[in-house]
Amino acid sequence: MATNPDSLKLDREAMRLAKPSVGGVAWPTIAFAIGVAAVYAGTIAAVSIGRLGMAAGFGICSLLVYAAYTVLHEAVHSNISGFGQPTRWYNETLGMIAGFIMAIPLTIHRAEHLAHHRKTNDPEDDPDMVLAISGRPNLGSLSVASLRSIVKQYTFYWSSAWPTTTREERVKASAEMFVIVAGRLGLAVAGFPLEALMLTVFANLVGNLIIVTFFAVAVHHPNTGHGRYLDTSTLLFPGWVNAPITWLWLWQNYHSVHHLFPRVPFYRYTTVFERIQPIMVAQGAPIHQIG
């Protein structure tokens, strides 16, 4: 890794190169969010009226939970509305809709996730360390980590954020939680208890497992790096294969770019990486070529 004066100089240069990709209304994210929400609602409706089988609906809803996290994640960092405060309402609205799909309120996840950014890989203060896995990850360890991550969203908020936050935020978090629970109970009471259970509870467990596997463990394991350039990784694939894998991964194989510049929208990670890759290499950033 570069010496300290050189490191600071390189970091300033990386910031300069990343700056053009920051800010502005994230129209691709808005379109993606609307699409995810529409397909989610349509899938539940189709299964409920018998136009789509339960197994197919379960698979689709699981994947939509995975997709919804990108919207929730972007909303946490206010990347949907960019720097425009007058337009922040749709950042929050789309984030809350994604949070409803995921059964994790935007307000609650924002507190947990920003703490993760402040203290990445800190054994004491990074709430995402509940996802750390010793040894080679497998389905069992990933499943345990996934369940821990869901519980941690709530326990972290109630223990660390709730006591010190504003009344307005408490009301918002409570309202989001109420809507999440009421929506699922409402579907069950309306005569679709199996659909509510399978499509809005069990599908969420599968979707969250996918999220934890690809958004957290794959890019942070073994959770030992400390520092802006060292605490997460970039995973690259050979030739033309890299592009479709990146799309399916929703750009999180470039997760290191997100940790360096959280205000860069997810669909611009590749562009920023191509600009700053030499700087990342000089700073010792973990960049792994797969295959």
Please state the rounded mean pLDDT for residues 11-35: 95
List the structure tokens of 202: 């069990």
Residue of 17, 21, 62 lying closest to 43 (CA atoms): 62
- Residue 291's pLDDT band (cuts 50, 70, 90): confident
What is the model's pTM? 0.94
Residue of 71, 132, 136 lying closest to 101 (CA atoms): 71
Q: What is the pLDDT of residues 156-180, one digit of tens each?
A: 999 999 999 999 999 999 999 999 9
Q: What is the pLDDT of residues 94-108, one digit of tens each?
A: 999 999 999 999 999
Q: Where are the domains of the chain?
A: 1-22+233-291, 23-227
Q: Which residues contact 171 (CB under 8 A, 6 or more apart)?
A: none
Q: How far is it, in rounded angstroms, from Cα 179 to Cα 96?
A: 10
In angstroms, how far is the first alpha carbon of the chain from the final one? 25
